[in-house]
Amino acid sequence: MKSYRKELWFDIKNRREYINITPRINECLRESGIKEGFVLVNAMHITASVFINDDEPGLHRDFERWLEKLAPEKPYDQYDHNGFEDNADAHLKRSVMGREVVVAITKGELDFGPWEQIFYGEFDGKRKKRVLVKIIGE
């Protein structure tokens, strides 16, 4: 069995962003040479998420509105965690959206359903962030 590991770095300009990282994961898959196996993609920050969904801007706006209703950023003093920081909402949003995804690799391709793409969701940005890509298989 072969193993491949790579960290992808992102310079996040905004507090919240959704980035389609599928092309970067496909690049990693090509570099790995693995044709059958699995890829794990996970956020390396506790205020960020990796998830699978449709690459449709309206859906991304819907995520933003829905998450803001579930865990509003402000007022900051509504959260106990915000005594030192102002990112409690980001931790909660990450909990809802998830930490990682695992995707099957079949015949050297990500084995997706229709419209599926991999996204990095950032909820407390404005700095460099990273994602771990781990691929195992043959």
Structural domain spans, the chain: 2-55+97-137
Query: Mean pLDDT, to the nearest integer, of 105-122?
Result: 97
In the chain, what percentage of residues exceed pLDDT 90?
A: 98
Assign 15 a pLDDT band (cuts: 50, 70, 90). very high
pLDDT confidence of residue 84: 84
Query: Mean pLDDT, to the nearest integer, of 41-53?
Result: 97
* Residue 122: pLDDT over 90: yes
* Residue 30: pLDDT over 90: yes
- The position carrying tokens 């409690």 is 88
**How many CA atoms are closer than 13 Å to the CA of 9, on its beta-carbon side?**
3
Measured from the Cβ of residue 86, the count of other Cβ atoms closer than 10 Å reads 16
* Residue 70: pLDDT over 90: yes
Angle (nearest 5°) at CA 53 between 16 and 118? 75
Token reading at 54 = 């449709």
The CATH number of 2-55+97-137 is 2.60.120.460
pLDDT confidence of residue 35: 98
Assign 79 a pLDDT band (cuts: 50, 70, 90). very high
pLDDT confidence of residue 115: 96
Distance between CA 11 and CA 36 in Å, rounded?
32
Backbone angle region of 109, left / alpha / beta, with phi > 0 → left and psi within -120 to 50 → alpha: beta
* Residue 22: pLDDT over 90: yes
pLDDT confidence of residue 17: 96
| Three-state secondary-structure class, residue 136 | strand
* Residue 26: pLDDT over 90: yes
What is the residue-averaged pLDDT of the chain?
97
